[in-house]
Structure 1
Amino acid sequence: MNFSEPSKSSEHSDQGEQPGDAAFHDQLKSVLLDVEVPDGLKNSILDSLVQSNENVLISDQPAISPRKSFLKKPGVLAGLSACLVFAAMLVSFFVAQGPVIDLSEFSPKLNLDRRFLSEFDNNFSERLPTQGGWRFKGRLNFTPNSYGVFVDQSSAHKPKSPVHDTVVRFFTLNTGKAQPVYGAILQVPARRVAPLPSHTYFDPGNVEYSQLKKGNYATVKWIEDDQVYICIVFGGARELEALGRALQAASA
C-alpha cells in the first residue's frame, strides 16, 4: 500500500514535539508499508461500492402503482368493456325470453277481464294467425286495443316474468241472431311454452271444454310458425261451431 510521506513542515509545526517522535514515525511507516494486501481486495471493495450505489438509485425511483399500470393497457380495458357489454346483453336476452310456462296454464282460468288488464308491453311482436280467416274483416270484429296478461306462477322454481307472458285480443262474432259470440285469442312465443300444441291450425274438433263458476268455455290451441295461439270462446259447442264456420267462410 503506497502512503505519501508527511511533509517536513508538518513534522516541525507542533512546538512540543520531542526528538524521539521522528524515529517513532519512521518505524510506523516501515511497518505499514510491509503489510501484505490480498490480491483482488481493492477491486472487490470498488465493486461493492458500485453495487451499493446502484441499489440506492433503484430505491430512489418512485414505485409504479399497479392500478396505473393496469389502466395503461388498452387491450385489458377493451376486453373488460366487451365483457360488460356481453353481460348486459345476456341479462336483456333472458329478460326478453321470460320463463317457460306449461301449456295448460293458458286456459279460461286466467283473468281475462279487460277492465283489470293493462295494455300489452310489446315485449314481442304481436300478429294474428295467417291461416284461416282471422285477418279478414267481416263479421269477426276485434277490439282496437291489445292487452297483456301475466300467468300466475306461484311455485318457487317458476319465477314470475318481468314482462307480459301473453297478449290477448278480444273479438265479437255477429251471427245474425240476437246473441253474438264473444271470444279471445291469446298469442305467446313458442319458446316460452312447453309442451307445444300438436296441431298447426285452428281445429274446432280439437277442443277443451271448461265449466267454471264464471261460465262455460271452449278452448282451441295450436302452433303456427314460432307462435302459439289459444282461442277461448265464451260458451260451448254451439258458439265454437259458429266461429269455425265464420272463419272457414272468410278464408274461402
Structure 2
Amino acid sequence: MSAARGVAVISGGAAGIGLAIAERLAADGFPVAILTRTEGAAEQAAASIEQSGGIARGYSADVSDRGQVDDALAKIRADLGPLSVLVANAAVAPQQPFLEMTLEQWNQTLSINLTGTFNLVQAGLPDLIEAGKGRVILISSSSAQRGAPRMAHYAASKGGQLALTKALAVEFARTGVTVNTVVPSSIDTPSVEKKRAAGTIPSAEDMAKYIPVGRMGRGEDIAGAVAYLASDESSYVTGQTISVNGGSFIG
C-alpha cells in the first residue's frame, strides 16, 4: 500500500514504461496524475486507468518548461490533492554520432531528461516535505552505467540523474522523503519498437541472446521496482540505484 494517500505524479506517463508505472501505482491505491507533452495522450491514458477502477487524471506539460510544470502541479493539487510520489520518467533518446551532434541537439536532450527532472522534483518536493514523508523516484538508464554509442547526450543526462539522486537523498534524508533511481535496461517499449522498425537496433530475439534471463524486459518489470520504492516498506531505502536489467551485470 502507498507510503501516503497523496498523489503519484508520473512524467512521460502516457506510454511505455511510464504508463506501466501509472497503471501499477493506481492499482496500488494512489491517485495518479500523468504528465506528457503530447496533447491528449495523458488524458487518454488516465481514462484507460479509470476504466480499470483506478483514480487518474492527465495533464499536458513539457517538463523542460518550468512554467508548464508549475501550472500542471497546481491543477493536480486542485483536482486530486497534495503530492506524495514524484516519478521523473519523461525522456527523449535520440541517436547522433558525437562528432556530428549539434549544441542544439545536446541542449534539447538535457533540457528534457535532466532539467525536466529538476523542474518536476523541485516543484513537487515541498508537498512531500510538508507531509513529512514521500517518495522521489527517477527513471535513469543503463546507458549511464555502461555508455552508449551515438547517444552521448542521452547517457550524460541519465548519468546526471544518478548523481542528482545521491545529492537529494542526503540533503532531504531528515525530512522523511526518500530519493532513489530505477535503472532499466533492454525494455521493450513502443519507442524501442520504432527504432527496431527503422533498423537502428537489433531484433528482440537477438537482444535477448545477451540477457541472462533470456528475454527483454517489460514495462511491468520497471513498475514493480517503482511500486516497492513508493511503498511504506522502502522507508529506510534512499540514495540507491536499483538496476532492473535481467541480470546484465554492468560495472
The structure number with the bigger radius of gyration is 1
- Higher RCO, Cα 8 Å, sep 6+: 2
Higher share of residues assigned strand: 1
Higher share of residues assigned helix: 2
